[in-house]
Chain A
Amino acid sequence: MAMTITEKILAAHAGKKDVRPGELVDCSLDMVMANDITAPISIKEFEKVGATELFDGERVTFVLSHFVPTKDIRSAEQCGIVRQFARKHRMKYFFDEGRGGIEHILLPQEGLALPGDIVLGADSHSCTYGGLGCFSTGVGSTDLAAALITGRTWFKVPESMKFNFYGAARPWVTAKDMILHVIGLIGVDGATYRAMEFTGEAVRALSVDARLTLCNMAIEAGGKSGVVAPDETTLEYIKPRAKRAWKFYESDKDATYHSVHDIDMATLDLQVACPYSPDNVKPLDDVAGVDVDQVFIGSCTNARLEDLRIAASIMRGKKVAPYVRCIVIPATHEVFSQAMKEGLMQVFSDAGCAISEATCGPCLGGHNGVLGPEEVCVSTSNRNFPGRMGHPKAKVYLASPAVAAATAVVGRLARPEDVVGA
């Protein structure tokens, strides 16, 4: 029977020859992940039912990412619960500040999420890992607590939607523009319960960093998962990092899809999601010139090394515009460290950016850049619902690192060409 990559991975982990959309399957899990906000509830539930052992110490990762370095006493107490649990269980994969970062960048970086895996994460952006060719999805803390004990969970096999990007990308157009365009096309519930499969020559041409960005925002269309079939690019990325064996799957040519969307890269320009929804997507030129108070370059969506390189290439030798502030937060400590070595941090610092250790921070209105009423922010993050980055009257525009960097220099929503020329 012809199957999609998603169906093949689910079938393999359910011990079945094939599966069909709509079928409920009980699957083994290759990696189970939680962060400082979701893990405390999982730990409480784990201990409440009398569990004493993790199902497999090599297949559980806890990452302190959201409120670190701890922002107040209560977040310190919450992180403390996770830190104590990690010590008690001698957890191999526990990442604290200074060594970790945002989980969705960290797990691929550390070779803990791999092609062919099923990864379950207590964070909605756990769909990110699909960029490596695995099935990966977000759940809540209780689902995760059960998974910590059993190493298994149930799934309804999702239908797949195919997004086929053909042609070559225009200058400065990146994976962020591709995924914003898709969300604008199908809406914030356009892929609910479904897997989003990204294919085509323009996807093949993307780096792993960019593929992770593409899959990261599947959840913003309601998607259960996002996936890019693994290839040579994937192999090169995982080889020096993988902590376990991996397996490549790909969709059969005659697999069945809920729908197929063909997108011509020649017509895709820079995209922006306007307040107050990630599907309120417009071509940048339609909203160019909007005055901004803050620019945020960070988050699990767009704070990988490649993103920082793009932003720095625009900000080099320039200054952040008067009365505008720009916050740069590399996604992981390794990205931070590498960006230092490459001189990118010097570029940001010279431009007058505020720079911080890796954290989710302002993306969810946590700390390090929370917005006040009526403030306007251009952010490389993933959500702009009312109150997401702070005050419910703050306005957030979601864009790529290239657009964010240009906007910081110009002080208004701008194209990279406005700063570096065409």
Chain B
Amino acid sequence: MNLHGKAWKFGDNVDTDQIIPARYLVTSDAAELAEHCLEDTAPEFHKKVSVGDVMVGLKNFGCGSSREHAPIAIKGAGVSAVIAKSFARIFYRNSINLGLPLFETDAAERIAQNDILEINPITGEIKNLTKEETYQAQPLPPFAQEIMAAGGLMKYVAKQKGLRPR
């Protein structure tokens, strides 16, 4: 199923301390974390973001700490995908493990705030409906798609180990 939403545009090095400041790391509740997502550096974001919206960054999105609270907050805010020119490694792994789709493409530069985007999560094709352009992002590697299809890493592991999730 394609993802469809409005773009929220950010710059280089959106780090995890900005995405969710450390003072909120006393909980892992998605709804609560979402209320503070980017509140120091993009205070409008958590107030106005709608379900399905897409975050668009440039270089090194998600750099900094390993806190999974960052992708949890983004997912909790209803964001359906993140597009960037490049992602920091730990954020990339965390997002796959939690089932937040990421798309890497230099075309992130072409996308502006409020552009309406449609993404095919399997092929990585991104349609910019506002600008009437199409971009091709790197699709997720097959094993990552397998983890996402299982519903995240833990469900994947539970199946492998024959555990019964509660």
Contact = CB atoms under 8 A, between A and B. Distances in A.
Interface of A: 24, 37-38, 40-41, 44-45, 47-51, 66-67, 72, 74-75, 77-78, 122-124, 126, 138-143, 145-146, 149-150, 154, 188-189, 192-193, 222, 224, 277, 364-366, 383, 385-388, 392
B48 interface: no
B63 A188 contact: yes
B110 interface: no
B67 to A, nearest CB: 7
7 contacts: A38-B68, A44-B28, A66-B22, A67-B25, A72-B26, A141-B28, A192-B86
Interface string B83-108: 00010111001100110000000000
A47 B90 contact: no
Name the 9 nearest CB pairs between A and B, nearest first: A140-B94, A74-B26, A189-B60, A140-B68, A142-B97, A49-B158, A124-B66, A364-B22, A392-B40
Contact of B89 (A48, A145, A224): A224
Nearest to B143: A24
A364 B157 contact: no
A67 B152 CA distance: 29
B27 interface: yes
B163 to A, nearest CB: 4
A81 to B, nearest CB: 10
Binding site secondary structure of chain B: loop
Contacts of A387: 17-18, 21, 40-41
Nearest to B159: A49
Contacts of B143: 24, 154
B90 to A, nearest CB: 5
B75 interface: no
A50 B166 contact: yes
A149 B161 contact: yes
Interface string B141-154: 10100000000111
A149 to B, nearest CB: 6
Interface string B22-39: 110111100000000000
B67 A74 contact: no
B158 A50 contact: yes
A48 B28 contact: no
A75 B98 CA distance: 24
Contacts of A40: 28
Contacts of B98: 142
Contact of B68 (A50, A74, A75, A142): A142
Interface string B51-92: 000000001100111111101000000000000001011100
B21 to A, nearest CB: 6
A95 B118 CA distance: 48
B155 interface: yes
A50 B163 contact: yes
A140 B67 contact: yes
B19 to A, nearest CB: 10
Contacts of A122: 66
A74 B27 contact: yes
A142 B148 CA distance: 13
Given A45-B154, A78-B26, A192 B60 contact: yes
Contact of B157 (A126, A141, A150, A392): A150
Output the residue of B67, B88, B153, B157 with the most chain A CB within 10 A: B157
A142 B60 contact: no
A138 B66 contact: yes
Nearest to A37: B25
Contact of B17 (A44, A50, A66, A385): A385
Contact of B60 (A48, A51, A188, A365): A188
B21 A365 contact: yes
B93 A139 contact: yes
B30 to A, nearest CB: 11
A48 B154 contact: yes
A41 B153 contact: no
Contacts of A150: 157, 160-161
A50 B164 CA distance: 5
Contacts of A49: 154-155, 157-158, 163, 165-166
B17 A388 contact: yes
Nearest to A365: B22
A139 B97 CA distance: 11
A364 B67 CA distance: 12
Nearest to A141: B68
Nearest to A387: B40
B125 interface: no
B144 to A, nearest CB: 10
Contacts of B25: 37, 66-67
Contacts of A385: 13, 15, 17-18, 64
B166 A47 contact: yes
Nearest to B26: A74
A48 B165 contact: yes
B33 to A, nearest CB: 11
